[in-house]
């Protein structure tokens, strides 16, 4: 398998983390989105939407959208439940992540990491309330549960962990969320965990 | 089953359409989001994120996020593929819908439908380019395929159809996209199709 990804991206880290936890070897190809490398004609064949990550599961057979990729990789493994309601709950949290969490927390972090915080000052301000609201929803769930679905680690945790554990880099104060902090440690203690900066 | 929904919402329509196509009877409960009915303490028990639709599959057993709900309902039916790569492709298009399509096309339509177009004039303008980009990605796919995944109608089509076929109500000109228009007719000709205004 080939993973087309950008090292700073939490969406890409989701895939890299799961591949490592599944012990699947892969080649990583760095796509520098700041240089427009995800918008070249060559790349648009892999993902017409011009985004990373993209997983090439066989020559010329591509999957895009990080949460669809981790769904693909996890089906039939311990990282995706067998029970129907739990399967739906995993998808529920992954859609929550992409709609109500990532656009605020990940985007804020991206601007800070790429030196654009000044330029996007007003937008950063606007992303504070919805970003904190998403963290509040997570906190409320984690006060009563060890993981997002069932009582075990699934791709719902991987999906939400990616940008949550680095929310501080986006200007969000995680000290307000003790249950999230405990859950972050719980995720970090999973077998074959790798950090976001380990490109393997 | 009970469907908590708002009649104008395309996200809710996805669920109503699929329930009808699966011939599953359900009770619909109108939640007026304009009156804040999705943010009451009572509703937040159903969905801590305060959004519709929510499906109550058994008393006090809830699923939120429209695309997670249609995933739940479609598993094991002809509306969700059995082949693993195709399953991932369905999820890929559903995540594309929630991240790259809905925030631009649905949100624009919502402002027009609720009389807020003037107030949000600048934001509406900003949503034009990404909205058209999403339609462009769809058009490119549909020029070569009858449906989004495989050669049959799945929840990927339902997910993308909901807001695409009313994109005109959000200020997007669909006459530029002939393949999308043909696909819209194809979806409308599916057995047990109901329109967005049929609340059954």
Q: List chain B residues with CB under 8 Å of A57.
A: 85
Buried b (16+ CB within 10 A) or exposed e, B57-95: beeeebbbbbbbbbbbbbeeeebbbeeeeebbbbbbbbb
What superfamily would CATH give domain A2-74? Answer: Glutaredoxin (3.40.30.10)
Q: Are strands A27-30 and A2-5 parallel, antiparallel or unpaired?
A: parallel
Residue B65 contacts A, CB cutoff 8 Å:
yes
Mean pLDDT of the B46-61 span: 98
Q: Tell me the two tokens of residue B111.
A: 């402002």
Q: Are strands B61-64 and B2-5 parallel, antiparallel or unpaired?
A: unpaired
Mean pLDDT of the B53-64 span: 98
Residue B122 burial (CB count, 10 A):
8
Q: List chain A residues with CB under 8 Å of B92.
A: 63-65, 68
Mean pLDDT of the B106-110 span: 98
Q: What is the pLDDT of residue B46?
A: 98
Query: Least CA distance to B96: which residue of chain A?
Result: A65
Whether residue B89 and residue A68 make contact (CB cut-off 8 A), yes or no, is yes
Q: Among A67, A44, A65, A68, which Cα is nearest to A53's?
A: A65
Specify the 3-state DSSP secondary structure of A190.
coil
Report residue B77's pLDDT band, with 50, 70 and 90 as the boundaries. very high
> Do the beta carbons of residue B90 and residue B155 sit within 8 Å?
yes
Q: Among all chains, which residue has been given the structure tokens 């709950």? A: A89
Orientation angle between helical segments A121-142 and A102-113, nearest 10 degrees:
130
Q: What is the pLDDT of residue A200?
A: 73
Mean pLDDT of the A185-199 span: 97
> Do the beta carbons of residue A68 and residue B88 sit within 8 Å?
yes
The DSSP string of B18-34 is HHHHTT---EEEE--GG
Query: Least CA distance to B71: which residue of chain A?
Result: A88
pTM higher than 0.90 for the full model?
yes
- CA-based Rg of chain B, rounded to a whole angstrom? 16
A-B CB pairs within 8 A amount to: 97
> Do the beta carbons of residue B47 and residue B56 sit within 8 Å?
no
pLDDT digits (tens, 9 = 90+) for A61-118: 999 999 999 999 999 999 999 999 999 999 999 999 999 999 999 999 999 999 999 9
Q: List chain B residues with CB under 8 Å of A102.
A: 99
Whether residue B91 and residue A99 make contact (CB cut-off 8 A), yes or no, is no
**φ and ψ of B29, to 5 deg:** -120, 115
Of B48, B67, B141, the CB nearest to A137: B48
Mean pLDDT of the B93-104 span: 98
What distance in Å separates the CA atoms of residue A125 and residue A107, rounded to the nearest whole number?
A: 12
Alpha helices, DSSP H, located in B79-177:
84-96, 102-113, 121-142, 155-164
Q: Among A2, A10, A5, which Cα is nearest to A168's?
A: A10
Whether residue A92 and residue B137 make contact (CB cut-off 8 A), yes or no, is no
Report whether pLDDT(A41) > 90.
yes
Q: What is the topology classification, in CATH, of domain A84-188?
A: Glutathione S-transferase Yfyf (Class Pi); Chain A, domain 2 (1.20.1050)
Q: What is the pLDDT of residue B169?
A: 98
Q: Tell me the two tokens of residue B179.
A: 């393949």
Residues of chain A with CATH 3.40.30.10: 2-74
Q: What is the dihedral of CA A164, A170, A171, A176, to 10 degrees?
A: 0
**φ and ψ of A27, to 5 deg:** -100, 135
Strand order in the sheet with B54-58: B27-30, B2-5, B54-58, B61-64
The DSSP bridge partners found for residue B30 are B5
Residue A149 contacts B, CB cutoff 8 Å:
no
Q: What is the mean pLDDT of chain A?
A: 97
Report residue B138's pLDDT band, with 50, 70 and 90 as the boundaries. very high
Residue B152 contacts A, CB cutoff 8 Å:
no
A residues 70-99 lying closer than 8 A (beta carbon) to B: 71-72, 75, 84-85, 87-89, 91-92, 94-96, 98-99
Q: State how far the alpha carbon of A111 is from the alpha carbons of A49, A172, B4, in Å.
A: 21, 13, 37
Q: Tell me the two tokens of residue A168.
A: 């501080």
Q: Which residues are CB-neighbours of A154 under 8 A, at least 6 positions away?
A: A74, A79, A80, A81, A90, A147, A148
Whether residue A63 and residue B57 make contact (CB cut-off 8 A), yes or no, is no
What proportion of chain B, given as a percentage, has pLDDT over 70? 100
Query: Least CA distance to A69: which residue of chain B?
Result: B88
Report whether pLDDT(B200) > 90.
no
What distance in Å separates the CA atoms of residue B68 and residue B55, rounded to the nearest whole number?
A: 10
Report residue B49's pLDDT band, with 50, 70 and 90 as the boundaries. very high
Q: What is the mean pLDDT of chain B?
A: 97
Report whether pLDDT(A32) > 80.
yes
What proportion of chain B, given as a percentage, has pLDDT over 90? 99
Report whether pLDDT(B143) > 90.
yes
Residues of chain A with CATH 1.20.1050.10: 84-188
Q: State how far the alpha carbon of B192 is from the alpha carbons of A93, B51, B188, in Å.
A: 30, 27, 9
């Amino acid at each position: 398998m080939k993973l087309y990804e950008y090292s700073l991206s939490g969406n890409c880290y989701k895939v890299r983390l799961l591949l490592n936890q599944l012990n699947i070897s892969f080649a990583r190809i760095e796509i520098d989105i700041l240089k427009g490398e995800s918008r070249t004609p060559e790349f648009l064949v892999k993902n017409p939407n011009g985004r990373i990550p993209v997983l090439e599961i066989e020559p010329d057979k591509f999957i895009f959208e990080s949460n669809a990729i981790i769904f693909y990789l996890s089906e039939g493994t311990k990282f995706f439940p067998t029970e129907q309601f739990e399967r739906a709950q995993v998808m529920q949290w992954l859609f929550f992540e992409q709609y109500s969490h990532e656009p605020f927390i990940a985007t804020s972090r991206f601007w800070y990491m790429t030196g654009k915080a000044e330029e996007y000052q007003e937008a950063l301000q606007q992303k504070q309330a919805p970003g904190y609201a998403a963290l509040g929803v997570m906190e409320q769930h984690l006060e009563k549960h060890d993981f997002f679905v069932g009582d075990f680690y699934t791709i719902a945790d991987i999906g939400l962990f990616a940008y949550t554990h680095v929310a501080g880099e986006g200007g969000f104060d995680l000290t307000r969320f003790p249950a999230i902090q405990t859950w972050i440690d719980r995720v970090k203690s999973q077998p074959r965990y790798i950090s976001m900066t380990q490109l393997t």
